[in-house]
């Protein structure tokens, strides 16, 4: 445990979502003098601390001993930068957790695949009989886990969380991949990349994707590597035999796993490498991989009707995720691939996606704010206004053997509350087809 005294400290918690509320509870329990802030003008909360709504109070922030920032709040806001310049430290809940946690941590970040790999690691640890907790950017706020007994804590971490984290020292850590995402907040790809790579700074064992140069730190020697390419050491992929290899030897065959797609075979490799360097035995790793069937909204088959396969990949909120979905599914597509994409592009460059669409997609259906930026020069293309229209158009065009893939390559907030709602609407529209 590191020496961070909270008693009687004047601490401002900014942002009153689930994470902010967990921070308030944690800080109050340790004797801090807490003030809560939220930018919303109306908010009904049952908290025993002063709650300031609307524009953030710069005077209070400048006088604080510490500011604890929820990940949804941009640290670059002028009022927060002014507080930093006046000498106030700004941290997030993950840094606060790191200062008090004594349980070994497996930390996972990346532009895509974080949640799948996090759940895979949890499954592998459970198969080994370990008491394992999961949190961070997924599930329970991490500060709510800190008093619970566990053998290991598996954390999914976003760039927003890593941006205000400095002391986390994971037993094992990985950056799965780095593709353009959240550039509207981080400014450019290099800044985003460096935030992601910071997860390795204090890690005891780094696990790296050797095929993704942006996710592989310069002059860094990982404990183990993974990837879709062949490698003499570490995990790799034997496409001809549909098999994951470890040190050139057959380790796990894809047809024994519930997950499908080459991108998921890479996810399994990453999880297996993390679990292995953390001390989990091979049989438990394999069992955990075989039994995991995937997460909702992540390349999830929602229907096979009249020989047409409908896949919900609504979690694909950036170009890299959609590229991974298309490339990973190609070996499983028997007929035409019909792609539904579009939404809020977050300033992304769609050039690589458009190139992939030209090569691998047979029909493109676009919608949303930036749907018109997603193109295929040699592909049949249609523009629609709603997800329901997209499903109806796909149903008109699809025949037995075809695959319809919702993989938007964009955020959902221009049309939906969340990517989950977008995926649910897609699923419900597909169900309506058979009624």
Structure-token pair, residue 357 = 């669409």
Q: Is 182 helix (H, G, I), strand (E, B) or coil?
A: coil
In sequence order, what are the residues at sequence separation of 6 or more whose Cβ sits closer than 8 angstroms to the Cβ of residue 247? 232, 233, 234
Check: CATH 3.90.190.20 for 300-433?
Answer: yes
**CA atoms of 213 and 225, how far apart (whole Å):** 12
Residue with tokens 């709040």: 73
Check residue 344 and report its DSSP letter: B
Fold of 10-91: Rossmann fold (3.40.50)
Check residue 260 and report its DSSP letter: -
Model pLDDT, residue 139: 81
SS (H, E, C) 73-101: CCCCCHHHHHHHHCCCEEECHHHHHHHHC
**CA atoms of 196 and 112, how far apart (whole Å):** 12
Which tens digit of pLDDT belongs to each residue from 315-341? 999 999 999 899 988 877 889 999 999
Q: What burial class does residue 334 get, using C-beta atoms within 10 Å of its C-beta: 0-12 exposed, 13-18 middle, 19+ buried?
A: exposed
Model pLDDT, residue 86: 96
Residue 201 annotated to the active site:
no
Catalytic residue among 119, 130, 182, 346: 182
Q: What burial class does residue 2 get, using C-beta atoms within 10 Å of its C-beta: 0-12 exposed, 13-18 middle, 19+ buried?
A: exposed
Model pLDDT, residue 2: 53
117, 271 Cβ separation under 8 angstroms: yes
117, 263 Cβ separation under 8 angstroms: no
Model pLDDT, residue 183: 66
Structure-token pair, residue 35 = 């003030």
Catalytic residue among 114, 186, 286, 315: 114
Residues of the chain with pLDDT under 70: 1-3, 182-183
Residue 28 annotated to the active site:
no
Q: What φ, ψ does residue 191 adopt, rounded to 5°?
A: -65, -45
> 3.40.1190.10, 3.30.70.270, 2.40.50.140, 2.60.40.420: which CATH number matches 97-291?
3.40.1190.10
Residue with tokens 């008109």: 396
Residue 264 annotated to the active site:
no
Based on its alpha-carbon atoms, the radius of gyration of the chain, rounded to whole angstroms, reads 22
Query: What pTM, to 2 d.p., does this model score?
Result: 0.80
Model pLDDT, residue 3: 55
Catalytic residue among 137, 177, 312, 354: 137
In the chain, domain spans? 10-91, 97-291, 300-433
Find, among 68, 223, 95, the residue nearest to 157 by Cα.
95
**CA atoms of 154 and 157, how far apart (whole Å):** 10
* H/E run at residue 237: strand 235-238
Structure-token pair, residue 300 = 């999830």
Length of the chain, in residues:
435
Residue with tokens 């158009």: 393
Which tens digit of pLDDT belongs to each residue from 110-140? 988 999 999 999 999 999 999 999 999 988 8
């Amino acid at each position: 445990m590191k020496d961070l005294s909270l008693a009687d400290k004047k601490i401002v918690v900014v942002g009153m979502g689930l994470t902010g509320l967990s921070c308030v509870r944690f800080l109050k329990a340790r004797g801090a003098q807490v003030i809560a802030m939220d930018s919303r003008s109306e908010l009904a909360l049952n908290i025993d601390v002063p709650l300031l709504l609307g524009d953030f109070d710069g005077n209070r922030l400048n006088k604080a001993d510490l500011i604890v920032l929820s990940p949804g709040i941009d640290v670059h806001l002028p009022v927060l930068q002014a507080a930093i310049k006046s000498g106030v430290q700004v941290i997030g809940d993950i840094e606060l957790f790191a200062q008090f946690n004594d349980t070994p941590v497996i930390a996972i970040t990346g532009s895509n695949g974080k949640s799948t790999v996090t759940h895979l690691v949890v499954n592998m640890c459970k198969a080994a009989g370990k008491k394992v907790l999961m949190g961070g950017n997924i599930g329970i706020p991490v500060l709510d886990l800190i008093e619970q007994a566990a053998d290991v804590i598996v954390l999914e971490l976003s760039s927003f969380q890593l941006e205000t984290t400095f002391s986390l020292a994971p037993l094992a850590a990985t950056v799965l991949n780095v593709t353009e995402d959240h550039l509207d907040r981080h400014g450019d790809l290099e800044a985003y990349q460096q935030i992601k790579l910071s997860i390795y700074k204090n890690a005891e064992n780094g696990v790296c994707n050797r095929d993704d140069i942006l996710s592989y730190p310069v002059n860094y020697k990982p404990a183990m590597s993974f990837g879709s390419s062949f490698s003499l050491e570490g995990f790799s992929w034997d496409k001809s035999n549909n098999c994951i290899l470890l040190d050139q030897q057959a380790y796990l065959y894809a047809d024994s796993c519930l997950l499908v797609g080459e991108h998921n075979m890479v996810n399994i490799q990453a999880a297996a490498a993390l679990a292995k360097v953390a001390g989990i035995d091979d049989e438990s790793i394999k069992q955990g991989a075989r039994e995991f069937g995937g997460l909702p909204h992540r390349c999830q088959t929602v229907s096979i009707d009249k020989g047409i396969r409908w896949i919900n990949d609504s979690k694909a909120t950036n170009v890299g995720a959609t590229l991974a979905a298309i490339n990973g599914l190609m070996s499983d597509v028997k007929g035409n691939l019909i792609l539904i994409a579009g939404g809020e592009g977050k300033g992304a460059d769609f050039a690589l996606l458009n190139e992939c669409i030209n090569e691998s997609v047979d029909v493109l259906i676009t919608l949303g704010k930036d749907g018109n930026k997603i193109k295929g020069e040699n592909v049949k293309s249609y523009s629609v206004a709603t997800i329901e229209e997209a499903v109806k158009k796909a149903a008109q065009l699809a025949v037995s053997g075809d695959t319809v893939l919702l993989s938007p390559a964009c955020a959902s907030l221009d049309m939906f509350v969340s990517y989950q709602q977008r995926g649910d609407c897609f699923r419900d529209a597909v169900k309506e087809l058979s009624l």
